[in-house]
Copies of this chain bind each other. A is one copy, B any other.
Amino acid sequence: MAISKGPQAFPRTEFLRRLAAAKSEMKRREIDALIVSDTYNITYLTGYTANSGYVPQALVVSLHEEEPTFILRRQDAPAAIHQTFMDRDRITGYPEALIGNPTMDGYDTVIDFISEIGLANRGIGLELRGLSAKAAEKFGTRLPKAKIVDCTNVVTWIRIVKSDLEISVMREAAAISDAAIMRAAEVIRPGVREADVIAEIMGALARGANGKPGTTRFPNVSLCSSPRTGTPHISWSEDVFRDGSQINLELGGVRHGYCAGIMRTFSIGAPSERLRRVHEAEMEGLEAALDAVRPGSTCSDVANAFNRTIEKHGLKKDSRCGYAHGIGWLEPTASLQDGDMTELKPNMTFHLMLGNWIDEDFGYVISETFRVAESGVEVLTKAPRKLFEL
């Protein structure tokens, strides 16, 4: 029997608006078909969130059709029918024989489709950063008359400005992030295993907040405790928490693929003088960065407001101060860093990520997810902005 359409997070008009923006860019670049292979861009343009992107799949956006065509593994086609806004005849499953096949794969089906719709000798856009070298080569070889155009960030740049509907979803995700931070503060105690705290954090991320559960895969949770506070990306250890330990935590709630990242630092017992000093400088820097957020400012302005402030305290942060943020965590477009002249516009969203890994064995983290508001900033994450002393 046919699978039904599932509940949709966004109305059809929202997806058509996103597609219209993509098509407008396609016209500008003189391409007739855009092959969207980036998992998060597919989510953005269709609502699809199933975890099937570990095998080839692609959304083909044609200038000549209102709805795109989603070509994916046959066994995942029912999920696409269920989750996306498109008509079911826009979902094409390719045969299982293309899985684990040394000579052909799902991209061959995508290429066949481009030929079938008569676009084999037109401009074809590819997302080259995410596409493997082998796949990109296949498009060139099998579509020799096409004009292949690198469209790596075409959809990603559209994603940076959210609609009000997307902002609502990110507010829901941020409330989940806050709940998970508060749960961590309740359960991090000396003698407790880090894994048991992770269990509680994962539970909070799934249970959600305000009656809205976490949906779809969670981003990585990083729990870096002494002596690992100088590292940003270790998951957690097998050890227990100890008196006097510092814990740097980064996590994010998710709704419909949209993340809202947050970082907080915890101290079991009184923080060291050094930690307290860094915390105070970073808090002042955070306020300065948020004050710099308004339409017309640049990403560089925000980063430099932070950098100038902490430099007054004798501190320095090597890494960027954040990045465009939304579906799938990091949007690889604008960075909050010196020299990034991207102009802030209303409803752009960023993870203001002020993690500062100062020494090999000492770092500090704080971050917020924010939206550029019409006349300033709206901070979406709302957990207490403090150094948690437990």
Which chain A residues have a beta carbon within 8 Å of chain B's beta carbons? 1-4, 6-7, 49-52, 54, 74-79, 81-83, 95-96, 99-100, 126, 128-137, 152, 193-196, 198-200, 202-208, 212-217, 220, 222, 227-228, 230-238, 318-320, 323, 330, 332, 335, 337, 340, 357, 359-362
A100 close to B335 (CB less than 8 A): yes
Q: Which of B152, B231, B318 contacts A3 (CB 8 A)?
A: B231
A198 CA / B205 CA spacing, docked (Å): 10
B357 close to A75 (CB less than 8 A): yes
B199 close to A207 (CB less than 8 A): yes
B230 close to A3 (CB less than 8 A): yes
A155 CA / B229 CA spacing, docked (Å): 32
Q: Which of B82, B131, B202, B212 contacts A202 (CB 8 A)?
A: B202
**A133-B133, A330-B54 known; A100 vs B337 contact (CB < 8 Å):** yes
A100 close to B340 (CB less than 8 A): yes
- Other than the given A50-B235, A99-B319, 18 more pairs (CB < 8 A) read A1-B361, A1-B362, A3-B227, A50-B233, A51-B220, A76-B233, A78-B228, A79-B231, A82-B227, A82-B228, A83-B234, A96-B320, A100-B320, A100-B323, A100-B337, A100-B340, A202-B205, A215-B236
B196 close to A199 (CB less than 8 A): no
Nearest neighbor of A212 in chain B, beta-carbon distance: B238
